[in-house]
Structure formats: C-alpha cells, structure tokens
C-alpha cells in the first residue's frame, strides 16, 4: 500500500475540539491547552499474538480495543479524553482496506467521546502487527484521582462486573467449555473484545475533594495492591460482594480466579470517603452506571490486600497479567 495515500484516507474531515490548531498534515500537531486544567497523556501498545489473535479478532475489534484501553487510563485519572495518535507497524499481509477498518473501529469509539485523531506514524514490519495508541486528555487542576489518595476508613468500590473479559478470552482460546448449554457465551466474548471505558464514573469521582482510582487492566488484586502501596494503607475486600455476571460460575470452576486476577475488564476500582460514597452511589444509580461497594481501607500494618470470606481471610498477591512472566 502507499503510505501517503493511507494517511490521506484516514485523515479526519472534521474536528470536535476547536482547540486543535494544526492536526494531521504537518510535522506535529498543535493544540491550545486551557488554563486551570492538567493535561493527561497515556500510551498503550497492542501486539499481535500477545494481546490479540487474528483468527478471533476483526480489524474493527483490534482498533476499538486499542483506543478503549487508553481511554480507560484517562477515566482512571478522572479525566476527559480529547485527542489520540496512532502508530502502526504493519506486516505486508495486511491490506489497505483492513487498515482502514481498524481505524473505523477506533472512530466508532472516538465519536462517543468526541475525540479527535491528530497524528501518528505508519511503518512496515516483517512479522506481527503492532498498534500503539497515545491519548491526550484533561482534568481540572488538583482533581486527578491518583492511586496515592486512599485513606483509612474509605469505601472500596468497583464499577461494572469483573472476570467477564478473562472468561471471554478463555472461551476464544478454547480453554473453557460451558457447563450449561443455556449460557450466553457471546456476552463474555464481547466483553473481552469491546470493553467499555468508565469515563462517566471517573468524572464523578473527580468532582470529590479526594478519590483514588485505578483501571482494571491486570486484574482486581493487582490494581488494589497498587493503590494500597501508593497510599501506604491496607485494603480489605469481601468475597461475597464481588460483582460478577450471574452466569460466570457456569463457565468454569476457575471463575473466581478470573474475577480476582483475570484482568482486561477495564472497569474502575477505587476509594472514596464514606460520605462521598453515598453521593457517588446515588449519582451512578441516577445515570444507570453500575457500581458496587466491595470493602474498606484500613490503617496500615503493611500495604496489602485482604480477601475476607465467611470463615477465613487471605492475602491477595499482586499478581495478574505480566508481560515479562
């Protein structure tokens, strides 16, 4: 394919933000930042056969998820996603139409959040497809929902449900065979391919004086351990309060492992004060945004995460998906 023809074909014809002064078409993009806000910048890379496989992911699925995982990072800061840049390393087996379909997958999600594509890079590679997306967002100055802001007696919560994405991946890989013919496996597969960033909940959290957030990319246990370590606290969660899909346990006996360590749900987990929790819960209910209280923050004996059941308690290790293990 011709690189410049490809760039021309994916260049947006309209923009959502008039703060863009120069978009695609020059050496770099220019935009005018606002006073009173902090810029958020995050980047994620998806690699073929590591983060997706072509036999079960369409180009649109790959593009959608590549942008979604970055938007989720902005949501975890309490911010608004505004711009994105895309870098592709493309094997020769890919056609121009397939690459355009990937951008269409991104655009499907970008339109929901009024995001503008403002640049990127395209190179060829001899082996696997590599997709790197950078997202730029903003949050009101001093209102970012940092991992280090959890305090003793805070409420610990999680949005949506956990474990469904890991279940979907297991189904796609043929590792799991439903124990019931009545389980809607397509739901779990969709949750893996098309995660829903929780920008609205992140924005609600940023309106409080103090809230900590983390997005669930590597698993609930890993993300809560990161909050505990950054805030120098202990986090205690209740096994019976974990929000999971009613059919999750019908798929495999490993369902709880998926919920705690599976990752790629791209839900948000975090902490707020008890008073703010009541407000957050009501605001989410009004907007039909699913959110669940799962535990409390405790005074630090050591920075860890404890899972309590009816009869026992156990320390949850900081494990989940790790690229280097």
Confirm whether residue 265 is marked as ligand binding. Answer: no
Q: Are 120 and 88 in contact (CB under 8 A)?
A: yes
- Do residues 70 and 134 touch, judged by C-beta distance below 8 A? yes
Q: Where do the structural domains in the chain lie, given as residue ranges?
A: 3-140, 147-315
The pLDDT tens digits of the residues spanning 90-142 come to 999 999 999 999 999 999 999 999 999 999 999 999 999 999 999 999 999 99
Helix axes 199-206, 274-286, angle to 10 degrees: 140
Say whether 104 counts as a known binding-site residue.
no
Per-residue pLDDT of 212-251, as tens digits, reads 999 999 999 999 999 999 999 999 999 999 999 999 999 9
In CATH terms, the fold of domain 3-140 is 60s Ribosomal Protein L30; Chain: A; (3.30.1330)
Is 44 part of any known ligand binding site?
yes
Residue in this structure with the two tokens 């703060």, named with its chain if needed: 19
217 labelled ligand-binding: yes
User: 147-315: which CATH architecture?
Assistant: Alpha-Beta Complex (3.90)
186 annotated ligand binder = no
pTM for the full predicted model: 0.91
Looking up tokens 């008073």 gives 275
Q: Is 180 helix (H, G, I), strand (E, B) or coil?
A: coil
Task: Please state whether beta strands 291-298 and 20-22 pair in parallel, antiparallel, or not at all (unpaired).
Answer: unpaired
321 is in an annotated binding site: yes
pLDDT of residue 320: 67
């Amino acid at each position: 394919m011709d690189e410049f023809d490809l760039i021309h074909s994916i260049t947006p014809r309209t923009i959502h933000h008039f703060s863009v002064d120069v978009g695609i078409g020059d050496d770099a993009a220019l935009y005018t930042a606002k006073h009173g806000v902090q810029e958020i910048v995050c980047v994620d890379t998806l690699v073929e056969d590591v983060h997706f496989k072509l036999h079960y992911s369409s180009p649109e699925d790959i593009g959608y998820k590549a942008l979604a995982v970055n938007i989720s990072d902005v949501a975890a800061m309490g911010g608004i996603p505004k711009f994105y840049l895309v870098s592709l390393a493309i094997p020769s087996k890919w056609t121009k139409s397939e690459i355009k379909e990937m951008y269409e997958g991104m655009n499907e999600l970008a339109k929901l959040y009024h995001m503008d594509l403002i640049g990127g890079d395209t190179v060829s590679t001899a082996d696997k497809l590599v997709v790197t997306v950078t997202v730029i967002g903003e949050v009101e100055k001093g209102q970012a929902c940092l991992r280090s802001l959890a305090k003793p007696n805070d409420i610990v919560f999680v949005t949506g449900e956990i474990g469904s994405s890991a279940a979907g991946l297991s189904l796609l890989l043929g590792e799991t065979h439903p124990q019931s013919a009545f389980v809607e496996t397509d739901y779990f597969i969709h949750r893996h391919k098309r995660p829903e960033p929780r920008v609205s909940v992140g924005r609600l959290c940023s309106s409080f004086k103090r809230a900590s957030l983390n997005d669930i990319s590597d698993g609930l246990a890993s993300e809560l351990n990161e909050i505990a370590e950054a805030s120098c606290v202990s986090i205690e969660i209740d096994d019976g309060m974990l929000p999971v899909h009613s059919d999750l346990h019908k798929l495999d006996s490993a369902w709880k492992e998926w919920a705690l360590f599976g990752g790629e749900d791209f839900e948000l987990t975090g902490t707020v004060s008890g008073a703010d929790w009541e407000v957050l819960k009501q605001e989410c209910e009004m907007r039909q945004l699913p959110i669940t209280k799962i535990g409390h923050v405790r005074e630090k004996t050591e920075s860890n995460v404890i899972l309590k059941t009816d009869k026992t308690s156990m320390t949850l290790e900081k494990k989940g998906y790790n690229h280097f293990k």
